[in-house]
Amino acid sequence: MPTTKLNITFLPPSRIAWEPEDISLFRDIMLTNPEFRDQVALHFPEADEIDSAIVDADVLVCGYVQDEELRRAVNLKWIAFWSAGLDGKLKPEMLQRGLTFTSASGVHGPNIADHVLMLMLMFTRRMEYFFRAQQQVSWARTPKNPEPGELAGKTLGIVGYGRIGEPLCQRAQACGMRVIATKRDPQQTYGTVKPDRLLPSDELYTLLAESDHLCIAVPYTPATHHIIDQPALNVMKPGSYLYNVARGKVVDEAAMVRALQSGQLAGAGLDVFETEPLSPDSVLWQMENVLITPHVSGMTPQYFARFAPILAENIGRWLRNEQLVNQFDPARGY
């Protein structure tokens, strides 16, 4: 056990100030744990206290770290990011220092699954058509190609069966859908929800050929850059739907636009894009078979309530010198 307290500094969002309820949430879950008694010190600095607090920090809990903050953090050992994805977060200086990094993977699962289900239902029941009709004050009851349908009996393919894929699978199966998924390590699961078929990542094209609806939920790494490219889109069922809640660069956007224009894809529900914010000049804004949300599928009022237990678990593991949950693996890239 450490002879001095582990100094944990929580950097406020936007570097302004923490909300009192968020401070209480973290304090309650940490300071009521007898394992942490006399072992940890929690710091929630105000904006004018951040510089001095960082100097003494063993652990930074944050959404990002600025260059000057990193230089001041001379005692830093571990950065606990509250974001689920670490792409773009880890700078060369951080890696060179041999720091430990963890993510908040898992906090987004239920709400992103809800978001994808919403998009699937909107296309299936042709809400994109009826919403335009409402805007035009038009009693248009007969959309064609396709008509309003049902999810039951359709196949959902999930690329990346992790903490988003599992709750999405649960929701899709409740709607009567068949679910197939790919996973880097099919032996690793986080819950008890099982797809109807689980494939290794190298069988992506098998999944694509069977899917009526396709959800992309993989981390962004060099290995997943443009995994949905023109050849992959060509394998998909004509008239299928694509949903991307991962990272924009996982999909070749230009190839996707061509597939939407040709009808190979009947529609796309997109929360992420290769360049964000999406340019006003992007053709995607004007496409009637595209539903756009501005990278908001991860938003939820339960964010820190789900993150706090993950952080508490990891603090306990750190004190016991055990492997951390969601620890960054350079070999995997996430």
Name the residues annotated as catalytic.
Answer: 247, 276, 295
| H helix intervals, the chain | 20-31, 50-55, 67-72, 92-96, 109-124, 127-135, 165-174, 204-210, 230-235, 253-262, 303-319
Contact 201, 182 (CB under 8 A): yes
Edge-to-edge order in the sheet of strand 265-270: 197-200, 178-183, 155-159, 213-216, 240-244, 265-270, 290-292
Positive/negative CA dihedral, 209, 211, 214, 218: negative
Give Cβ neighbours of residue 106 (< 8 Å, ≥ 6 apart). 84, 163, 190, 306, 310, 326
State the alpha helices, DSSP H only, in 10-83: 20-31, 50-55, 67-72
Cα distances (angstroms) measured from residue 5 to each of 78, 83, 117, 322: 14, 26, 45, 18
Distance CA 264, CA 114 (A): 26
89: helix, coil or strand? Answer: coil
